[in-house]
Amino acid sequence: MHGYRGKILRINLSDKTWKLEKLDHTEALKYIGGRGFGSKIMFDEVDPNIDAFDPANKVIIATGPMTGTPTPAGGRYMVVTKSPLTGTIASSNSGGYWGAEMKFAGYDMIILEGKSEKPVSIFIEDDKIEFRDAGHLWGKTTIETTNELMKEAPEKAKVLCIGPAGENLSKIAAVMNDLNRAAGRSGVGAVVGSKNLKAIVIKGSSKPTVADPDALKDVVKRGRAQIKENGVTGAGLPTYGTNVLVNIINEQGVFPTRNFQETYFDKAEEVSGETMSEQFLLKRESCFACPIACGRYTKADDIETGGPEYESVWAFSAACGVSDMKSAIKANFWANEMGLDTISAGVTVATAMELYEKGIIKDDELDGLGLKFGDGDSMVEWVKKLGRRDGELASKMAEGSYRLADAYGHPDLSMTVKKQELPAYDPRGIKGQGLQYATSNRGGCHVRGYLISPEILGLPEKLDRLEIKGKPGWVKIFQDLTAFIDSCGMCLFTSFALNADDYAEMFSAVTGEKHTAEDILKAGDRIWNLERIWNLKAGIDPSQDKLPKRLMEEPIPSGPSKGHLPRLPEMLPLYYQERGWDENGIPTPEKLKELGVPS
C-alpha cells in the first residue's frame, strides 16, 4: 500500500481506549481519502439524524494519500463530522504541518468517538498513544494552549487544538493547528469541544512510501515548474497573498459590503493586498511542501500574527463596513485565539450590526460596546466576547448569523446558505459562484467549487461572470475536481496551475493505482453524491439549495454590477440534469449505481 499508511487509529474518549484498524484499501481508493473516505465512514457509522453534539457523533481527522508526500502543497488534512451549524456533513480542510505529521506518525485517519468526562488532550508519538488531563488548558486561547502543550511535547511535535469557542460549543468554532491554521468552517471545533477534547499533539518519524518514486519525481518537478510559471501561483499569491483579491472583486462591484447591503466598498484600497504588503506585512509563510507560500504574517500595533487572508480581511472589513486594516488584523488574531471561523465570525458580527442599525438590537443589549457598521474597535471586542459567550448578545452571536437573526425574528437578515455564512463574493454578479453556493454540500462556501477562477481570474479560461449559459456544467466539474483534490490531501490552490491530468498522474505515481483524469473526476462525482445522500438522510432537502432572500430578490443596488440577480431558478434544474439527478434534485438510483454509491 503506497501513499496511504494503511492504519486507522480509533479513539474512544468515553473510556480512554484506542485500537488500530487496517485501512480498507479498496474502499480508500474508491473514495480517495480525506474528505471522501471520511464521509464514507460517517455514512457507514453515524446516524445522520443525531444531534451534532451527541457523543454518538464522530470526528474523523483524515489525511489523503498525497498528504506528507513530495506532491506540491501535499500537506492537507480534513476534519469530517456532522456540523452543528448546518446539520450537513462537514469537512473542513486545513494546511500547515499537522496533517503531514499525522501521516509521519503512521495514520491515515484518527476517528474520535464518545465523550470524555473531563477535558483531555491526546499525545501521539508514532505508535505511543497517551491521554493527559487538560483541565489546566480549558479556557486558554489557542496560542496559550499550544505553548503550554509544547512544554511537555517531544521536540518538533505539532499541535491541533480548539480555543474557548470550541469549548463553549459555538456553532462557528474552528479546529486550529500550528498556531494559526484552521479547519475553519461548519463548526467542527464545537464538536471537538462537545467531546471535551482540547488538543492532539502529534509527532511521527517515518514517511509514507510512494509506488513509483521516479515517476513521482518527474511529475512533481513538472508540476512545481507549472506552479512557478503560472502568474497566479508563481507571482500573484507569493507576492500579495490571497488578499490581492480585495481590489479585483471590489472593482467589479461584487465585494459584499455592510452585510451584503451593498457590493462596492469605497474604502477597499485601505484593506487591500497592496496596502497590506506595503504597510503591515512582516513576512510570508508557507505550509508543508508548498511552493506557493500565500500565507502572510502581519503586524498591527502590538499584535504580530499569521494571516489574515482574503476572506478573513473581508469578513472583518467590508462585511462590517470597517476600513481599518489594523482592526481587521486584530479581529483575525482574536478569532484565531478563540478558535473561531473568521468568515462566520465576521459575517455574524455584520448581521448583528444590521440588526442594530435597524433598531432590532437595542442599546441596552450591547454591554457598553458599540455595534455600528464601521466601528472596528468594537468589532474586535465582539469577536473576543463571542468566543467566550461573554454576555447574552455575544452568546447569541456564538450560535452563528442565522440563529442570531432568527432569535430576533429576522432570519432573512442572515446571509447564509444552509445556515452557513457566505464568503466574500456577491453571487448576484458572479452567476456560477452563486449556483455553487446554493448547491454546496456544506452550505455557504466558496471552496467547494471556486468558480471565481474562471469567472473572475480567467483560469483555465475566461467566462463571462454575468452569463448563465454553460455554468451548471462548469459548477459540476469544479465541484467534482475539488472533491478529489480535497480528498487526496493537496491544496486547492495548486489547481490554478495544475489540471485533472496532472493530479491523475501524481495520484498514480503515489499510490501505484493507474488513474486518468476521467477516473479522478468520477471519484469526485462519487464523493459529491455520497455527501448529498448523507445530507438528504439528515433532512437537508433540495428546497435548501437556495440563496438568502435578499440576494434572490433584491438586485445589486449600485456600482458596476448594478441591477443583477443570481438567476438561480434558471440554472438549478440544469445543474440537477448535469448531475444526473431527478428534477427534484434527488440522485437517481441509476446514477448512484453507476458511481457505486450506497443509497
Partner 1 sequence: MQIKVRLFATLREGRGKELIMDLEPGLNPQLVIDLLKIKRDEVAILLVNGMDGKFDQQLIDGDTVSIFPPVGGG
Q: Which three cell numbers stand for residue 176?
A: 486550529
Reduced 3-state DSSP string for 147-173: HHHHHCCCCCCEEEECCHHHHCCCCCE
Q: Considering only residues 358, 372, 462, 549, which one is a binding residue for partner 1 as defined by CB under 8 A? A: 462
Q: Can you tell me whether residue 111 is helix, strand or coil?
A: strand
Q: Which of 561, 572, 574, 575 binds partner 1 (CB under 8 A)?
A: 561
In the list 31, 43, 240, 316, the residue contacting partner 1 (rule: CB under 8 A) is: 240
* Contact between 42 and partner 1 per CB under 8 A: no
- Dig out the grid coordinates for 337 from the structure: 485565539
Q: 575-591: b or e for each residue (b if 16 or more CB lie within 10 Å)?
A: bbebbbbeeebebeeeb
Q: Count residues contacting partner 1 (CB under 8 A)?
A: 42
User: Given CA atoms 447, 452, 458, 461 in this order, what sign does their dihedral have?
Assistant: positive
- Cβ proximity to partner 1: between 277 and 577 the closer is 277
Among the residue ranges 82-90, 100-108, 304-312, 368-376, the one whose residues contact partner 1 (CB under 8 A): 304-312
Q: Name the minimum Å distance from CB 273 to partner 1.
A: 7
Q: How far is the CB of 315 from partner 1 (least distance, A)?
A: 11
Q: DSSP letters along 474-495, please?
A: HHHHHHHHHHHHHHHT--GGGG
Decide if residue 251 touches partner 1 (CB under 8 A). Answer: yes
Q: State the minimum distance, in angstroms, from the CB of residue 35 to partner 1.
A: 19
Q: How far is the CB of 134 from partner 1 (least distance, A)?
A: 34
DSSP class of residue 62 equals E
253 binds partner 1, rule: CB under 8 A: yes
CB of 486 to partner 1, least distance (A): 16
Choosing from 274, 365, 406, 513, the residue that interacts with partner 1 (CB under 8 A) is 274
Q: Does 493 bind partner 1 (CB under 8 A)?
A: yes
One of 457, 468, 477, 517 touching partner 1 (CB under 8 A): 457
Choose which of 405, 452, 488, 565 interacts with partner 1 (CB under 8 A). Answer: 452
Q: What is the CA radius of gyration of the chain?
A: 22
DSSP designation for 583: T
Residue 166: C-alpha distances to residues 181, 192, 272, 573, 578 (Å): 15, 7, 30, 38, 38
396-435: which residues touch partner 1 (CB under 8 A)? 424
In eight-state DSSP terms, residue 558 is S
294 is an interface residue for partner 1 by CB under 8 A: yes
Among 453, 482, 487, 544, binds partner 1 (CB under 8 A): 453
Q: Does 232 bind partner 1 (CB under 8 A)?
A: yes
Query: What phi and psi, each to the nearest 5 degrees, are found at residue 111?
Result: -105, 120
**Considering the complex, what minimum distance in angstroms separates the CB of residue 271 from partner 1?**
13
Question: Buried b / exposed e across 50-60, counting CB within 10 Å, b at 16+?
Answer: eebbebebbbb
Cβ atoms of 52 and 82 within 8 Å: the answer is yes
Is 456 among the residues that bind partner 1 (CB under 8 A)?
yes
DSSP H/E element including 523? helix 517-537
Q: Is 180 in the site for partner 1 (CB under 8 A)?
A: no
Rule CB under 8 A: say whether 444 interacts with partner 1: no
C-beta closer to partner 1: residue 459 or 500: 459
Ramachandran quadrant class, 598 (left: phi over 0; alpha: psi -120 to 50; beta: rest): beta
Phi-psi region of 230 (alpha: psi -120 to 50; beta: other; left: phi over 0): beta
In whole angstroms, the minimum distance from the beta carbon of 440 to partner 1 comes to 16
Minimum distance, C-beta of residue 246 to partner 1, in the bound complex (Å):
9
Does 236 bind partner 1 (CB under 8 A)? Our answer is yes
Separation in Å, CA 145 to CA 161, 163, 224, 332, 338: 8, 8, 35, 18, 11
d(CA 186, CA 191): 10
Query: Rule CB under 8 A: which of 310-369 touch partner 1?
Result: 310-311
**Pick from 201, 244, 345, 572: which binds partner 1 (CB under 8 A)?**
244
Least spacing, CB of residue 423 vs partner 1, in Å: 8
Give the binding site for partner 1 (CB under 8 A): 230-233, 235-237, 239-245, 247-248, 251-253, 269, 273-274, 294, 309-311, 424, 446, 450, 452-453, 456-458, 462, 464-465, 493, 496, 559-561
